[in-house]
Chain A
């Protein structure tokens, strides 16, 4: 027994003293793990020993645990006793299984009753009073209940779950311990620091008076003698047991790709007004539905590098997007699985096709947002002019470079966007072909945030200069296509049938060859506003132009 004790590294200076401290802690009702941690043991391996093994080492035979004499420990409220038993770990297993999560490793988080903070300090003061020198200055050197739980159960639970225990994992098992008397045990703080605690008895704090942070601060600011006057040292044996809620979650997974849209009657997000659907389907739904079926998240969100209007097609390499999958239940997929997913999405509808589908990190999602600011876009517009254009007109237009526009917020979005005059650039402009009936196609590359439709028809002269003004004849836009959203992300994925799916990295691809920039319409947030604002009646044409 003495030999085995050598494996520990304790505050106590002799075996006798260790026995003495253990006896006192046992007398006030402490469990064997709380005894060991209050002796100063910090080695995780020591806590893998069973309760029996630890008791055999630290306690005299007559005071060892029997089925009858177990009360909740005043040092851990039973969290290191009952809640470390196989029966409890099996409950966790059942919960994880019931929730249907897929994971290869796991972490666990414990939320402990707030009054444990008071109890821990009271326990320390008790030991300091009894054993003086041995405990002086050691208050912060004790293992926490949380750590000891993980050291005791992490690997055991891993075996039950058939998974690896990690300090950091995407999959989290959260145990929230409720202790009915927690507030009661903190109540003395209301009188001691009324300024801090009484004002919290309000709705805005959810009537949560005592939080981990404010109790921790109050208790560490209190002198030992003051705390001793206010609360029982040592802490009393709890009269009620804790209960525990178990919940599981998986960190968000991000799927990136590019989408193409071939329909002029398809909105990017579900188009609802006052809860009523205005148009069937949406790019978002067509893309997300198969992804959701595969990853089974509890929530999801599509964001993209700008968006096109309902009547605008998205061609070329497509528009970069990310789908954030919140709390996905299934995550273990191969590159081939993703290629198959892409195929499934592309089979849903001819109107929307995706490419370069891949899983990306949360950090990489910033690249989409960064790209938002300085990207350029290339468009083809089918236009009309009220006179026949000549070769001279073509020459004039094609000679223009870097046109700076003063663009007032277009009338069609003025109801929900701030009124302003914004400076925007058309980087290049050329008439590609002259067609019958005064029609022509115009190719243009613009800065982020340029409204192209308004550049063509002028929006009552509110975009200046505009096409009508340049050609000195009324112009209008009939159709608009986005040919390129010049963002160099996500990486292109070479399509594969099966086997190897290669992601190109560091490529100097076609994206760089075209000049870049922001949407001619609205961003993601504003789309939501249209779709969700129930007080506002927005009808079709406000989304119509590009």
Chain B
């Protein structure tokens, strides 16, 4: 057996912070869709344009720590599970508008919420785990409880991003709501 000729000259990068920056902090930008009923949503945008659509912390679902009994990706007139496509270009994927419904959430208290796409683009996937484990939506809203992945078209990307709120604008909006209530 021949040993490697080279010794590893570098030690592992040492980072002594207690908590390293998270996946979201490292690779995603947070943008928000706010709503006068406070049914806010969060869009995590990867630098490659891929958008992960989530529920924002200010949404009544999270704010009031609701108990979710079901998440449905299809209702009368729309079905996000019926989305077959192929290849790198994702040909055949549903093209959805920012206001298009994504899923309907039913809670144990009888309330229902419709969550929307937030960005115009191709629907790449919906989080089917939410059907089996709807509570993920509340427990890990910005992780395993994500709603869907959408790929906005290159042409509309800038436009779609502009119509969402930045983190700063979102926080200001929350401040305003506090004062108003």
Contact = CB atoms under 8 A, between A and B. Distances in A.
B9 A415 contact: no
Contact of B144 (A260, A263, A458): A458
Nearest to A386: B19
B48 A478 contact: no
B12 A382 contact: yes
Contacts of B30: none
Contacts of B23: 457, 459, 476
Contacts of B86: 418
A541 B15 CA distance: 19
A262 B10 contact: yes
Interface string A175-197: 00000000000000000000000
B90 to A, nearest CB: 7
A97 interface: no
Nearest to B22: A476
B17, B19, B86, B127 — most chain A CB neighbours (10 Å): B19
B27 interface: yes
Contact of A479 (B13, B18, B87, B149): B13
A372 interface: no
Contacts of B146: 460-461
Q: Identify the interface centre among A419, A495, A540: most chain B CB within 10 Å of its CB.
A: A419
Interface in A464-484: 476, 478-479, 481
A411 B52 contact: yes
Contacts of B5: 353, 355, 495
B88 interface: yes
Contacts of B116: none
A101 to B, nearest CB: 34
A476 B20 contact: yes
Contact of A460 (B1, B19, B144): B144
A310 to B, nearest CB: 13
Contacts of A26: none
B13 A419 contact: no
A38 to B, nearest CB: 59
A386 B17 CA distance: 12
A536 B154 contact: yes
Interface SS of chain B? loop
A435 B142 CA distance: 28
Contacts of A382: 12-13
A437 interface: yes
Interface string A400-435: 000000001001111111110000000000000000
Contact of A539 (B19, B47, B127): B47
A479 B15 CA distance: 10
Given A313-B10, A355-B5, A438 B48 contact: no
Given A418-B87, A509-B2, A460 B143 contact: yes
B88 A416 contact: yes
Given A419-B125, A460-B143, A461-B129, A541 B47 contact: yes
Contact of B16 (A316, A437, A461, A479): A437
B9 A418 contact: no
A223 interface: no
Contacts of B6: 260, 262, 353, 355
A359 interface: no
A461 B46 contact: no
A414 B124 contact: yes
A350 interface: yes
Contacts of B129: 461
Given A411-B50, A419-B90, A438-B18, A350 B9 contact: yes
A504 B9 CA distance: 27
Interface string B6-43: 10111011011111101100110000000000000000
A418 B20 contact: no
Contacts of A260: 4, 6
A492 interface: yes
B66 interface: no
Given A460-B52, A539-B47, A539-B48, A384 B9 contact: no
Interface string A332-356: 0000000000000000001001010
A539 B50 CA distance: 12
B165 interface: no
Interface in A182-232: none
A537 B129 CA distance: 31
Contacts of A457: 23
Interface string A432-458: 000001100100000000000000011
Interface of A: 260, 262-264, 313, 315-318, 350, 353, 355, 382, 384, 386, 408, 411-419, 437-438, 441, 457-461, 476, 478-479, 481, 492, 494-495, 504, 509-510, 535-542, 544-545
23 contacts: A262-B9, A262-B10, A264-B13, A313-B10, A315-B4, A317-B4, A355-B4, A411-B149, A412-B46, A414-B48, A415-B46, A418-B87, A438-B19, A458-B143, A459-B23, A461-B127, A461-B129, A461-B144, A478-B20, A536-B154, A537-B154, A538-B47, A542-B47
Given A260-B4, A419-B85, A460-B52, 5 more contacts: A316-B4, A412-B48, A459-B23, A476-B22, A542-B47
Interface of B: 1-2, 4-6, 8-10, 12-13, 15-20, 22-23, 26-27, 46-50, 52, 85-88, 90, 124-125, 127, 129, 136, 140, 143-144, 146, 149, 151, 154
Pairs of residues from A and B, 7 with the lowest C-beta to C-beta distance, nearest first: A461-B144, A542-B48, A539-B47, A415-B48, A510-B1, A541-B47, A541-B27
